[in-house]
Chains A and B, each alone.
Chain A
Amino acid sequence: MKVQFTVNGKSAEVDVPENMPLLWVLRDELDLKGTKFGCGMGQCGACTVHVNGVAQRTCRLAISKVAGKEITTIEGLSPDGSHPVQIAWQQIDVPQCGYCQAGQIMAASALLAKTPDPTDEQIDDGMKQNVCRCATYNRIRKAIHQSVEIASGSNQPTGSAGQGAGK
């Protein structure tokens, strides 16, 4: 079936089976490789994007369900990697292998859009759908708090990437 939707501000149209998951439409039809395949059953969150601003797993999300909707992927979160979450992730040096991090960042940015200054408990709740096999959780937590500071302007990037995160 033909499906029209918006991806990162641009309109897109694909002609694929109605049950084809959005993940594979993004990766293989639209060549947006930032959204990752991890499990295919909504367990790991590597495929998280925003659908009309809400974080959703795309590996089980049929393309027919996103007709007319606005999709934001990691490639479209900011024009130049300047979203506070993207900045904080680099400053804190969150990634190890990095494979899950696009999904983590999409989940964290959706959490912050709804809860601008989350407590640790709210972070647990908002992020527990996303697994990090390298277990960078201590840093994800720290980076989310740092994103809040960046967003509020109280953190001035001074080239001190990773400051305070070492020993």
Chain B
Amino acid sequence: MLETPTAGLSRRNFLRVTALAGGGLVLGARLGSDGFAATVDSDAALNAFIRILPDDLVEIVAQNPEIGQGVKTMLPMLIAEELDVPWANVRIVQAGLDTANYRGQFAGGSMATPTHYEPMRRMGAAGRALLVAAAAKTWGVDASKLTTRDGKVWNGSESVRYSELGATAAGLDAPDPKTVPLKDPKDFKIIGTDVPGVDNEKIVTGQPLFGIDTQLEGMQYAVFEKCRVFGGKVKSANLEAAKASWRVTDAFVIDEEGQPNGVAILAETWWAAQNARRALEIEWDEGPVAEQSSAGFAAQAEELSKQAPQQEMTNNGDVAGALAGAAKTVEAAYSYPFLAHAPLEPQNCTAHFQDGKLELWAPSQTPERGAKQAAEAIGIAPEAVTLHLTRMGGGFGRRLYNDFMIEAACIAKRADGPVKLVWSREDDMRFDLYRPGGFHYLKGGVDESGKLSAWQGHFVSFGEGNRFASSANMAPKEFPQAFVPNFSLGASKMPLGVPTGALRAPTSNAISFVVQSFIDELAHAAGRDPLEFRLELLGTTVEGEKQIVDGPRMAKVLEKAGEVSGWGKDLPKGTGMGTAFHFSHRGYFAEVVQATVAQDGDLTVDKIWVVGDVGRQIINPLNAENQTQGAVLDGLAQALDQEITYEGGRTKQSNFHNFKLLRMDQAPEVEVHFVLSDNVPTGLGEPALPPVPPALTNAIFAATGQRVRSLPLSNHDLSWS
């Protein structure tokens, strides 16, 4: 139904208009590596981004994977705003993986907002400018005399609908997206307004949306049994017994080099495959990781803490001298556990291998990488993979890794027809890429004026040689480096056979607990108010040291957190307020937790106040609040009762009875405020999480005088008298 495009393919035509037969038009656009312009040189780009239908409905493509962060709503809002179409007329279409036409199709690092805020707006603005030029040509008037509103171009009281301008616009050169004027934020009609999620109606009526809901003709269901010890391999399995189970269609061992190792069972229904696992009687070669355990890690860390760090990371000033000359010193050992991601939708992927080509329906945060990994595992070219993006039942970093996609591809290669692989909850808990635990040995000093004068840290983590295990690293210039005149940080590493990876606000979600707790200890040692002590610290500069954290910007959110929470007010014994701040993923967050500890140790979190600075514009306030509350309560869940431990090289926890998610009766009110600053808008998926655990443990100290130096809290007796 497309008419032949007539726009010249000049270099500036990153955007091309094609009239639709029967009215309406397509704005084909393509973002180059600089995020702004790339020549549209083929019809492949025609469906990218915007289609204005004859009835004035506007279809906008959402290019990024949706994990619950709201990007499927947010990115199209940016285009619609500058295109100047009413949101009520917008319909969202989810893109598949398409590296030729879309840039940055991933979900991670709270990157969608900083990456796309301006380019998506520029695309909408260029489309609008082109339609205005078309209307100007039609009417024979100067484009500067024309305005847009409600999906129409206006010349005084005369108007023409966008959908009628396709044929004329197709003959025009697109404006330069780098210089096309953007709206003054005071004229925003969509950005900055409360826009509910575009999939809400489907969600509340139970329509299939998620990867696990994929249903194809002739599809089989699969489970994949792996060795409980990481890196272990199948020696033998009773495949015939599994095959004899109800509705099982096949069972086979996968032990090819470069492929995941285990036993696949295929069946006509998932429960049948799952049920047949018990019949397998697998004998495993567990391998060397079977020697590793959480108790072993703790003992090794303790030993390493007595030695000098294996590796110096930062050293400025004279730490030993400053500690020797300090008015007060504090020494403390902190630790935090490994954690699972535990998204509620278990890992799954549907795969169909046919005629050398692979088609995937994959809930992946990194679909491009996943498609390549799947292709490599089964020995086909990445171009032979077609990938459909599905909505995801949570990401939290788990779906950055595509092990489930690789497994599905390897199983599908050996099967007839499409196969849906679904992990059980136990698979999901036992075969995660965990947030690594860590150990920190700290010494600090305050001078006679009560100011933080010295900080010495020894971080005992995981890795080998100069390489930290994934997400087990710590920035050498992590706060409060460059805010303390004498600061040193060293690291030692233990070998690790357990796979690790990024969990929401990676590294920050752990480091913040250590840093913000120890700052609290030093404030109390100095006899200072913890919030005021922090404000002073944020105002300190150290000659010759560049500050990664913008001190004044953080001070502003911390001051505001003090204001909104009523910091400093009298509270009864057993109730206390704690504060903490953290900078991560370009976001500045300060939080105050009020907690009450009953004499028997029962802990209630009364309320949490959050103040964030993520730049000059909150794009969708409705979702911004939801994301922030969710990140905060996620941090609370971690602090209260989450821990993954290992014994014999295998994960001990298996399901939600022993890895506990937060529940309704544990969730306090979370009051969210944003401070606007003259900075580029940045993301909200992660940065509100890290301050929560230390703000809570600092509140417990304020309430009872008990300092908690290891997580989770469920391992501690908090009773007092």
- B44: Cβ under 8 A from any A Cβ: no
Q: Are A90 and B670 in contact (CB under 8 A)?
A: no
Q: Are B661 and A81 in contact (CB under 8 A)?
A: no
- B75: Cβ under 8 A from any A Cβ: no
- B633: Cβ under 8 A from any A Cβ: yes
Q: How far is the CA of A27 from the CA of B208 in the complex (A)?
A: 10
Q: How far is the CA of A75 from the CA of B68 in the complex (A)?
A: 21
Q: Which of B194, B246, B656 contacts A17 (CB 8 A)?
A: B246
- Smallest distance from the beta carbon of B16 to chain A beta carbons, Å? 35
Q: How far is the CA of A91 from the CA of B374 in the complex (A)?
A: 40
Q: Which of A85-100 contact B (CB under 8 A)?
A: 85-86, 89-91, 93, 95-100
Q: Which of B424, B633, B657 contacts A135 (CB 8 A)?
A: B633
Contacts of A34 in B (CB 8 A): 205-208
Q: Are A98 and B664 in contact (CB under 8 A)?
A: no
Q: How far is the CA of A93 from the CA of B673 in the complex (A)?
A: 18
- Smallest distance from the beta carbon of B643 to chain A beta carbons, Å? 17
CB nearest neighbor in A for B345: A99
Q: Are B665 and A136 in contact (CB under 8 A)?
A: no
CB nearest neighbor in B for A41: B655
A133-B69 in contact given A128-B664, A166-B194 (Cβ < 8 Å): no
CB nearest neighbor in B for A78: B205
Q: Are A133 and B343 in contact (CB under 8 A)?
A: yes
Contacts of B392 in A (CB 8 A): 97
Q: Which of A39, A138, A165 contacts B622 (CB 8 A)?
A: A165
Q: Which of B199, B344, B626 contacts A38 (CB 8 A)?
A: B344
Contacts of B141 in A (CB 8 A): none
Q: Are B633 and A137 in contact (CB under 8 A)?
A: yes
Interface readout for A21-56 with B: 1 if CB under 8 Å, 0 if not? 100100111011111111111011010000000000
Q: How far is the CA of A35 from the CA of B210 in the complex (A)?
A: 12
Q: How far is the CA of A138 from the CA of B636 in the complex (A)?
A: 14
Q: Are B205 and A75 in contact (CB under 8 A)?
A: yes
Contacts of B370 in A (CB 8 A): none
Q: Are B422 and A123 in contact (CB under 8 A)?
A: no
Q: Are A93 and B210 in contact (CB under 8 A)?
A: no
A133-B344 in contact given A24-B269, A41-B425, A97-B393 (Cβ < 8 Å): yes
- A13: Cβ under 8 A from any B Cβ: no
In this complex, the member of A74, A101, A128, A162 whose beta carbon has the largest number of chain B beta carbons within 10 angstroms is: A162
Contacts of B618 in A (CB 8 A): 167
- B104: Cβ under 8 A from any A Cβ: no
Q: Are B674 and A167 in contact (CB under 8 A)?
A: yes
Interface readout for B631-650 with A: 1 if CB under 8 Å, 0 if not? 01110010000000000000
Contacts of B277 in A (CB 8 A): none
Contacts of B663 in A (CB 8 A): 128, 131
Q: Are B664 and A136 in contact (CB under 8 A)?
A: no
Q: Are A135 and B667 in contact (CB under 8 A)?
A: yes
- Smallest distance from the beta carbon of A151 to chain B beta carbons, Å? 16
Interface readout for B327-349 with A: 1 if CB under 8 Å, 0 if not? 00000000000000011111000
- Smallest distance from the beta carbon of A38 to chain B beta carbons, Å? 5
- A113: Cβ under 8 A from any B Cβ: no
Q: Are B271 and A24 in contact (CB under 8 A)?
A: yes
- Smallest distance from the beta carbon of B182 to chain A beta carbons, Å? 23
Q: Are A135 and B630 in contact (CB under 8 A)?
A: yes
Q: Are A89 and B204 in contact (CB under 8 A)?
A: yes
- A148: Cβ under 8 A from any B Cβ: no
Contacts of A97 in B (CB 8 A): 67-68, 343-345, 391-395
Q: Which of B206, B271, B395, B655 contacts A43 (CB 8 A)?
A: B655
- B209: Cβ under 8 A from any A Cβ: yes
Contacts of B199 in A (CB 8 A): 95, 98
- Smallest distance from the beta carbon of B352 to chain A beta carbons, Å? 18
A41-B661 in contact given A81-B204, A97-B344, A163-B194 (Cβ < 8 Å): no
What is the total number of residues of chain A having a CB less than 8 Å from a CB of chain B? Answer: 64
Interface readout for B596-630 with A: 1 if CB under 8 Å, 0 if not? 00000000000000000000001001111111011
- Smallest distance from the beta carbon of B375 to chain A beta carbons, Å? 28
Interface readout for B403-433 with A: 1 if CB under 8 Å, 0 if not? 0000000000000000000101110000000
Q: Are A38 and B204 in contact (CB under 8 A)?
A: no
- Smallest distance from the beta carbon of B449 to chain A beta carbons, Å? 39
Q: How far is the CA of A136 from the CA of B181 in the complex (A)?
A: 38
Contacts of B667 in A (CB 8 A): 135, 137-138
Q: How far is the CA of A90 from the CA of B200 in the complex (A)?
A: 6
Q: Are A33 and B206 in contact (CB under 8 A)?
A: yes
Q: Are A139 and B626 in contact (CB under 8 A)?
A: yes
- B672: Cβ under 8 A from any A Cβ: yes
- A112: Cβ under 8 A from any B Cβ: no
Contacts of B621 in A (CB 8 A): 166-167
- A130: Cβ under 8 A from any B Cβ: yes
Q: How far is the CA of A90 from the CA of B86 in the complex (A)?
A: 19
- Smallest distance from the beta carbon of A141 to chain B beta carbons, Å? 7
Contacts of B623 in A (CB 8 A): 93
Q: Are A134 and B197 in contact (CB under 8 A)?
A: no
CB nearest neighbor in A for B192: A166
Contacts of A73 in B (CB 8 A): 206
- A102: Cβ under 8 A from any B Cβ: yes
Q: How far is the CA of A166 from the CA of B627 in the complex (A)?
A: 12
- B662: Cβ under 8 A from any A Cβ: yes
Contacts of B581 in A (CB 8 A): none
- Smallest distance from the beta carbon of A106 to chain B beta carbons, Å? 9
Q: How far is the CA of A96 from the CA of B620 in the complex (A)?
A: 13
A93-B200 in contact given A98-B393, A130-B664, A163-B194 (Cβ < 8 Å): yes
Q: Are B68 and A81 in contact (CB under 8 A)?
A: no
Q: Are A38 and B346 in contact (CB under 8 A)?
A: yes
- B201: Cβ under 8 A from any A Cβ: yes
Q: How far is the CA of A124 from the CA of B634 in the complex (A)?
A: 18
- B669: Cβ under 8 A from any A Cβ: yes
- Smallest distance from the beta carbon of B94 to chain A beta carbons, Å? 14
- B270: Cβ under 8 A from any A Cβ: yes
Q: Are B662 and A93 in contact (CB under 8 A)?
A: no
Q: Are A39 and B206 in contact (CB under 8 A)?
A: no
Q: Which of A112-167 contact B (CB under 8 A)?
A: 123-125, 127-128, 130-141, 161-163, 165-167
- A110: Cβ under 8 A from any B Cβ: no
- B302: Cβ under 8 A from any A Cβ: no
Contacts of A71 in B (CB 8 A): none
- B203: Cβ under 8 A from any A Cβ: yes
Q: Which of B64-86 contact A (CB under 8 A)?
A: 67-70
In this complex, the member of A74, A133, A141 whose beta carbon has the largest number of chain B beta carbons within 10 angstroms is: A133
Q: Are B201 and A81 in contact (CB under 8 A)?
A: yes
Q: How far is the CA of A141 from the CA of B633 in the complex (A)?
A: 14
- B441: Cβ under 8 A from any A Cβ: no
Q: Which of B394, B396, B626, B664 contacts A124 (CB 8 A)?
A: B664
Q: How far is the CA of A123 from the CA of B195 in the complex (A)?
A: 26
Q: Are A165 and B625 in contact (CB under 8 A)?
A: yes
Nearest 7 interchain pairs by C-beta: A34-B206, A97-B68, A99-B393, A74-B206, A135-B633, A166-B621, A137-B667
A-B residue pairs in contact (CB < 8 Å), sample of 28:
A28-B221, A33-B207, A33-B208, A36-B345, A38-B346, A40-B424, A40-B655, A41-B656, A43-B657, A44-B656, A81-B201, A95-B203, A97-B343, A97-B391, A99-B394, A102-B206, A105-B204, A124-B665, A128-B665, A133-B343, A133-B661, A135-B629, A137-B667, A138-B629, A140-B664, A162-B195, A165-B622, A166-B194
